[in-house]
Structure 1
Amino acid sequence: MTRITHRHAAVGAVVAVAVLALGAVNAVGAPGEVPTDNACANPVLAQDLGGWGPFDGPVVSRDTVGDHPVANLHGAGTARVAADWYGASGNYLGQSEGPAVPLPASTATGESWTRTACGYRLGGGTSTTTPPTDSRASDRYHWGAANPEESDEFNAGSVDLAKWGLFGASEGQSTGCSPGFNGHGQRCASQTTEGGGLLSVVGTADGVTGGLYSNHNGFKYGRVEVRERAMPLEDNGGAAYHAVPLLFPVTADYTQAEIDFAERDVADPGVDLFVHHDGTQEHCSATVDSTQFHNYAVDWEPDSVTWYVDAEQVCRVEASIDYFDKSNGGAQLDMFPDTGTLMRPAREDVDWIHMYPSPSTVYGP
């Protein structure tokens, strides 16, 4: 997947447009603009040479078009536009994605292409996208600065093994395998990778999967937000993998102290919150397309857990969890059926994970 970004001011907002390409594609923008009011089917938004450049987070940065490589595609493929919206103060508002569209037939021969163009037209008729309201709970509810030691943008190109551990590998190592969830299948470190600004976990048809856990000493109470999605990679008739960002206990059994805050079978039409405490559990659900990116957040306090999806409060659970927990990085893709069951290949992607201390937060020793 390749991201080429551009910003465009509209109705008091700033938008970054990214090419999400299925195939080995890189793209450069054109200095021209083709007026349109469709979903920006051409994969790059162009305004002028000064308008092209990376936009990574709220920091304003513009480079010339020459910084982007020519696109080379070997074989047919599709591309998708994603518009990341930012407010005037630089706060992230959310993402809108257009449909996947076929690339020109000529690229199937491996021919290079260097430019595309499309534009946004606001007002009457069919507008391309609408800036969403604040879609991060951390922005809407002013949680302040994230703790960098327990947060990650996953932009380094490889997993930070000082911060995270890989399922299947010993601490600090990048290779190895171990039995999967409840002994089902295998968890192998090779299945968890970082690249293109994403952390990804891939589950195979024969039950080999992975995941991520954090190496810090844990915390008790606080706020965690993750931008995550999980999608099937093919339809082979196999059983679905199970995806979940979560907080899990350092010393206690999960039935005493675990918060699963976007649990579901891959491609199910919704996500679930499970709060495990005192040998019991509380539960609530939200309907979302979890194959697309969403922001999932929990505010864990001494007597409650509040759950947010795209900054909207879904529920507040009264529960007391008095154990030090730690985040697993938002990535856990589990095989629930017995070993030997045909699985439907899937991938879980995490764009970022942030931990925000609250007045109640206590860090582990």
Structure 2
Amino acid sequence: MTSHRALALIGTAVTTAALIAGCGTAPSTPGPTSGGPVLSLDATTGDTTAAAVNQWGAPGPGSDDFTDGGVDPTRWDVYDGDGHAGNGTRSPDAVAVRNGVLTITGDAEGTTGGVANRTAQQYGRWEVRMRAAPRPGASDGDPYHPVLLLWPANAGGSVKPGGTGGEIDFAETDVGSGQVSTFLHPPTSDADRKAFRQPVDLSQWHNYAVEWTPTRIAGWIDGQQWYDVTDPVVQPGGPMTPCVQLDANTPSGLQPAVMETDWIHIYPPPPGPD
């Protein structure tokens, strides 16, 4: 497991090398902290959202239903440079909006993509409807690694370099693994990170949500709460921005895959003492 690395975004495309690197493959054994309820997830539960169950209200600035016919540069920066840990390439050509869905493709040679939202906030709620699968007719190979995460941000929403501000990977896995993981990386030692794992069919639409307040980080899948962490060690150190990535963990020999995001909804933090 390696934590994410980032450099500042320039313009509407990431033009530096090795911008945001994924955590690596989902663990085959539980992380330092794992557990919580085993959720009942299938194709029918994918219509339920944490926002509806918990009455979060209307989504706020930065939210995107991808109905504008393309990647909105006022909302998103598109990666352009070396891939995760130097594996392959993150290319704007691998990112498109098709039929109202943000689509990121990855080919056998490691050409893939990702986007960072330009709306940064300290504390809040985020929910993303996502699925990922091998491309139709794809040959065997190493799996791609979809990641939904919150990453430290500069003013204006561009991502910060380094990993000093902490990190929340609220849905991370390998395509076809049959499970999804969350990793809460502290801004101090990664030895204190928290990890959670849940069985899930990633090829089906599911809604992945996270709430971050000064006292807790909690997650949901399809409106069902998965974890609730109150340990202050994992609290990020400043504003965060959501990112959507399809990462390559090897430089080539990958199984071509596609990651689709139907929408991302961003909410302000809850009112009250939290």
Consecutive aligned runs of 4 or more in structure 1 exceeding 6 Å deviation: none
Distance in 2 (CA, whole Å) between partners of 1:230 and 1:242 is 9
Alignment of structure 1 residues 246-265 onto 2, 5 Å: 246-250=149-153, 251=160, 253-254=162-163, 256-265=165-174
Which residue of 127, 132, 138 corresponds with 2:51?
138
Contact residue 256 and residue 276 of structure 1 kept, 8 A:
no
The secondary structure found in structure 2 opposite 1:138 is helix
1:322 to 237, 242, 247: 237
Distance in 2 (CA, whole Å) between partners of 1:224 and 1:264 is: 18
Change (3 A) 1:132 1:327: closer
Superposed, which structure 2 residues align to 1:283-294 within 5 Å?
283-294=195-206
How high is the sequence identity, in percent, across the aligned residues?
35
> CA offset at residue 133 of structure 1?
9.4
Cα-Cα RMSD = 2.1
Question: Would the alpha carbon gap of residues 323 and 96 (structure 1) be closer, same or farther in structure 2, given more than 3 Å must change?
Answer: same
Question: SS at 2:173's partner residue?
Answer: strand
Say whether 1:165 aligns with 2:77: yes
TM-score, structure 2 normalization = 0.75
- Summarize deviations over 1:127-171 as a string: whole Å, max 9, x none: xxxx75971000000111111x21000111111012111111xxx
* Count of paired positions: 219
Higher relative contact order (CA 8 A, sep 6+): 2
In structure 1, the residue matched to 2:90 is 187
Q: How does 1:1-365 map to 2 (within 5 A)?
A: 135-147=48-60, 149-168=61-80, 178-216=81-119, 218-233=120-135, 234-250=137-153, 251=160, 253-254=162-163, 256-277=165-186, 278-280=188-190, 281-318=193-230, 319-328=234-243, 331-337=244-250, 339=251, 341-359=252-270
CA distance, structure 2, for counterparts of residue 167 and residue 293 of structure 1: 24
- Structure 2 unaligned regions, length at least 5: 1-40, 154-159
Gap change, CA 1:166 and 1:289, over 3 Å in 2 = same
What is the CA–CA distance in structure 2 between the aligned matches of 1:215 and 1:132, rounded to whole Å? 30
In the TM superposition, residue 204 of structure 1 has moved relative to its aligned partner by 0.3
| Secondary structure of the corresponding residue to residue 245 of structure 1 | strand
Structure 2 SS opposite 1:265: coil
Deviation at 1:303, TM superposition (A): 2.3
Where 1:349 maps in the other structure, the secondary structure is strand
CA deviations over 1:230-259 (Å, ceiling 9, x no partner): 101144221001101111112363364111
CA–CA separation in structure 2 for the residues paired with 1:244 and 1:222: 19
Amino acid at match of 1:343: L
Q: CA deviation at 1:192?
A: 0.3
CA deviation profile, 1:64-118 (whole Å, cap 9, x unmatched)? xxxxxxxxxxxxxxxxxxxxxxxxxxxxxxx986xxxxxxxxxxxxxxxxxxxxx
CA distance in 1, matches of 2:48, 2:271: 24
Distance 1:181 1:143, change over 3 A: same
